[in-house]
Structure 1
Amino acid sequence: MSALPHSFDDASPGEPFGIGRFIDLLHRTIGLDAESIGTNAVSRAVRERYNLWRERHGGTLDDYHRDLTQDPARMQELIEAVVVPETWFFRDPEAFGALARLARVRLHERPGKPVRVLSAPCSTGEEAYSIAMSLIEAGIAPERFTIDAIDVSERALSIARRAHYGRNAFRGRSLGYRERHFRVADGGWQLDPAIAQSVRFSQANLLHLDAHAFERFDFVLCRNVLIYFDRETQCAVLRALDGLLAEGGTLFVGPAETGLLMREGLCSANIPLAFAFHRPERESANVFSGAWPGAPVVTPSLPAMPALKSAFVLPAWASAPLVRTAPVAAKPIETMPAKHEQTGTLEQARELADAGQLDAAANAARAFLNAHPSNADAYYLLGVIADARGEKQESRAHYRRALYLDPAHREALAHLAACLTLDGDEGAARLLLARAGRATGSTR
């Protein structure tokens, strides 16, 4: 066997002792798919940690790899170097509004039993604290809910427990919550202790969650992390989360992860822009077959969208009305608005897509296009269906066709922006997001 490289620079990524074995180790430990953040980013993190380790201990890259496998503290140092937190308060704000409404319903259905929420991973705490603020502002007393927040990064958890944040944690234009729940302190903002104390933080690895260590949760938020896993790991994490979800519970994911959950057989909760899902009801009576009781569905304005991998918006069928099963009296053609006369078949296509019948939905959308070849909504729906199937090129072509027909189609703009970001073309994605903002009067 050839001599091991003493310097990381001498290790070729394609050789047995290059970056590949560290990528494999990170994949086994935290499930990271290196391609999701770029192998160069992983390489830089390993290089940094190896050079620091070598200054203290000496030895080869092989020695460092062996040390990682034998010393959990050393492995944690590498994890901290790879995991870079990127979050902010009320990211995708409709999700928090939906959670608060659903929590009120849950409390009404089960009086005396607190609502349980899990934020996993919680990063530096902004998501978990956003949950707490949303529940309290919805009139739910702190003793009527519990929030557990877990993350693999101790560094992120230490920031979360401190509950002191800088300007980057507050994004968008709606910052009234900061005035209500924070005070200016030490060049930043300190969260109200009453909010901070309502969240319990602990270290845990999504790949090794013990469902028996927790009481089941009514709501689980696992947002914008599944996109960093390969398909096998995504399925493993979803199985673990399913084991933590109470009967009738709701799972919230990131905007770019909705297609994954549809492919795995979960059902949309039909709340626009909330990215909320539930498992199919096993009994014949499906309590989730329509809108949640007591949870009014609103059509919000376009939220502030980051130029990151999570720029998708909820598919248009999420708020589509149920298809009528009884005949409707025909209106005279001269009094029927053009938009109205086009919606019947397209609504059926959306309903089929929402039910997971993607082939039938695509056929219905194409049949509609045969009669209405210039309808941007139909092409957008075909794009979302292609996304759910994992058909990358087809989805992008449909979104572009929708934008050719309607340059201000905000959903197509947002979805195509997310696709371009995943392709690494963040410059073009930012331009599309800016157009989406202008399409709804946003100044972002």
Structure 2
Amino acid sequence: MSALPSAFADESSGIGRFIELLHRTIGLDAESIGANSVSRAVRERYTLWRDRDGGTLDDYYRAVTQDPSRMQELIEAVVVPETWFFRDPEAFAALARLARVRLHERPAKPVRVLSAPCSTGEEAYTIAMALIEAGMPADRFTIDAIDVSERALAIARRAHYGRNAFRGRALDFRDRHFRAADGGWQLDPAVAQSVRFSQANLLQLDSHAFEHFDFILCRNVLIYFDRDTQCAVLRVLDGLLAQGGTLFVGPAETGLLMREGMSSANIPLAFAFNRPERASANVFNGTWPGVPGMPAVKTPAPFVLPAWASAPPVVRAMPVVAKPREAAPVQIEPVKSLAEARAFADAGRLDAAALAARDYLRAHPSNADAYYLLGVIADARGEQHESRGHYRRALYLDPAHREALTHLAACLSLDGDESGARLLLARAERVTGSAR
């Protein structure tokens, strides 16, 4: 790469103009990914443009603002996809179960799902696989997927993925829905055809142009926006959500939705929310609503995975929700692993989960995962002070504990400590990057 002119290197306001332009256009808060990263992307795009077309930084700014293709090139340079199949698997288990209930309630109307933004397609295709494996015929649901990046959408439409799209140990779905091809895996056309991809800017969506969606997944993107942009996006999503619909967000975004007046659907580790007046339809009380031919169960199916044991390096946060109703405290035998405690937590039996986790800690007092689990349980009970203490203890024992980092970040964000939350999220991103 050729050297930048000194005027470019010295003109901080020049970079600032592009950062503000990206903020206005796609809502990007540069600090969320690091202003230096955005500045580097601007410099790289400017250098390529200058070497090809010639001109100053001012000329490049005018080209970007006047030529949509140049603006799109800059957007592509700063949008870095980070996704994989069945990321936060409990969310897809919850979606599949709720979709079957929704279809039973309205058998004449297909279930509508939106993935926004969809990045390179892993989330949208995961939705399709989850619904198909839950027994829903392809003609009984529709999946729309939108993203601002044409490059990401091109990858999504190709439906061919490499190793980085498949993380964790639970990869049996790959055997069922993919075939090895060209050094990677090609998705089954029957699954690929069930998703409709289109290019769109989340900030500029017209809710009147869409039929309302029963389920919307907008995960791990709100954290890259500032507060005003977050509110604007949530207004758009709210306008797209059908009566009684459910919004799924990323684990680190649960605090934001609580602040904005959304109600947790109380489904463990699904990060699902409703508007308060809509919450009663889908509130989880420890038992899933029944569907003819499907017995009531305590945990979602078919993708119930022990998240702490088998999930990839995922950043997680637990929504702060009211304590679910549960039976009297259960006497349990001493546990040899955390699996029993996690199973209790996933079933909404928080007292039993806490007892099991503390029992495990008596034998393993330096186990960070056990303290992390106690933090999740405390969050679910609404015991914010205790949850923060548990997360900090987990981080003392394991400073690179990704889940504890993002859970504590969500707690700090709820407390109004945005700078502290950003620092923890940055640490979590570094840990995730080094793990890959």
Q: One fold, TM greater than 0.5?
A: yes
Matched, 1:106 2:96: no
Matched, 1:302 2:307: yes
Q: SS in structure 1 opposite 2:246?
A: strand
Larger radius of gyration: 1
Q: SS in structure 2 opposite 1:207?
A: helix
User: 1: distance between equivalents of 2:162 and 2:333?
Assistant: 50
Q: SS in structure 2 opposite 1:59?
A: coil
Q: In structure 1, give the amino acid aligned to 2:306.
A: S
Report matched runs for 1:173-188 at 5 Å. Answer: 173-188=169-184
Correspondence for 2:264: 268
Call closer, same or farther: CA 1:396–1:293 in 2, change over 3 Å.
closer
1:137-189 per-residue CA deviation (whole Å, 9 max, x = no partner) reads 00000000000000000000000000011111111101111111111111111
User: 2: distance between equivalents of 1:321 and 1:383?
Assistant: 12
Percent identity over the alignment is: 70
Range with greater deviation from structure 2 (394-403 or 121-130): 394-403
What TM-score comes out, normalization by structure 2 length?
Answer: 0.76
Q: In structure 1, give the amino acid aligned to 2:37.
A: A
Matched, 1:400 2:392: yes
Report matched runs for 1:37-48 at 5 Å. Answer: 37-48=33-44
Range with greater deviation from structure 2 (241-250 or 273-282): 273-282
Matched, 1:424 2:416: no
Q: SS in structure 2 opposite 1:173?
A: coil
User: 2: distance between equivalents of 1:151 and 1:184?
Assistant: 27
Report matched runs for 1:169-318 at 5 Å. Answer: 169-281=165-277, 286-291=280-285, 293-294=289-290, 296-298=297-299, 300-303=305-308, 311-315=315-319, 317=321
1:192-212 per-residue CA deviation (whole Å, 9 max, x = no partner) reads 111000000000001000111
Q: In structure 2, give the amino acid aligned to 1:50.
A: Y
Number of residue-to-residue matches in the alignment: 378
Deviation at 1:80, TM superposition (A): 0.6
What TM-score comes out, normalization by structure 1 length?
Answer: 0.75
Q: SS in structure 2 opposite 1:50?
A: helix
Report matched runs for 1:76-87 at 5 Å. Answer: 76-87=72-83
User: 1: distance between equivalents of 2:377 and 2:130?
Assistant: 35
Tell me: higher relative CO, structure 1 or 2? Use CA pairs within 8 A at least 6 residues apart: 2
Call closer, same or farther: CA 1:263–1:127 in 2, change over 3 Å.
same
Deviation at 1:296, TM superposition (A): 3.8
Correspondence for 2:158: 162
Q: SS in structure 1 opposite 2:37?
A: helix
Range with greater deviation from structure 2 (144-153 or 39-48): 39-48
Unaligned runs of 5+ in 1: 1-5, 340-346, 352-374, 435-443
Q: In structure 2, give the amino acid aligned to 1:322.
A: R
Matched, 1:10 2:7: yes
Q: In structure 2, give the amino acid aligned to 1:25.
A: L
Q: SS in structure 1 opposite 2:281?
A: coil
Correspondence for 1:441: none
Q: In structure 1, give the amino acid aligned to 2:426.
A: G
Correspondence for 1:380: 375
User: 1: distance between equivalents of 2:163 and 2:376?
Assistant: 37
Correspondence for 2:342: none
Q: In structure 1, give the amino acid aligned to 2:45.
A: R
Range with greater deviation from structure 2 (421-430 or 30-39): 421-430
Are the counterparts in 2 of residues 106 and 115 from structure 1 also a CA contact under 8 Å?
Answer: yes
Unaligned runs of 5+ in 2: 291-295, 335-344, 350-369, 411-420
Q: In structure 1, give the amino acid aligned to 2:375.
A: Y
Report matched runs for 1:4-83 at 5 Å. Answer: 7=4, 9-12=6-9, 15-16=12-13, 18-83=14-79
User: 2: distance between equivalents of 1:32 and 1:68?
Assistant: 16
User: 1: distance between equivalents of 2:115 and 2:67?
Assistant: 28
Q: SS in structure 2 opposite 1:425?
A: helix
Q: SS in structure 1 opposite 2:245?
A: strand
Call closer, same or farther: CA 1:322–1:202 in 2, change over 3 Å.
same
1:216-252 per-residue CA deviation (whole Å, 9 max, x = no partner) reads 0000000000000000000000000000000000000
RMSD value, Cα: 3.9
Deviation at 1:288, TM superposition (A): 3.8
Deviation at 1:44, TM superposition (A): 1.3
Matched, 1:321 2:317: no
1:328-368 per-residue CA deviation (whole Å, 9 max, x = no partner) reads 9xx9xxx98899xxxxxxx9xx99xxxxxxxxxxxxxxxxx
Q: In structure 1, give the amino acid aligned to 2:244.
A: G
Are the counterparts in 2 of residues 420 and 428 from structure 1 also a CA contact under 8 Å?
Answer: no
Deviation at 1:112, TM superposition (A): 1.3
Are the counterparts in 2 of residues 383 and 399 from structure 1 also a CA contact under 8 Å?
Answer: no
User: 1: distance between equivalents of 2:430 and 2:60?
Assistant: 40
Q: SS in structure 2 opposite 1:66?
A: helix
User: 1: distance between equivalents of 2:6 and 2:118?
Assistant: 35
Q: In structure 2, give the amino acid aligned to 1:102.
A: L
User: 2: distance between equivalents of 1:13 and 1:138?
Assistant: 58
User: 2: distance between equivalents of 1:427 and 1:205?
Assistant: 25
User: 2: distance between equivalents of 1:47 and 1:388?
Assistant: 47
Deviation at 1:380, TM superposition (A): 3.2
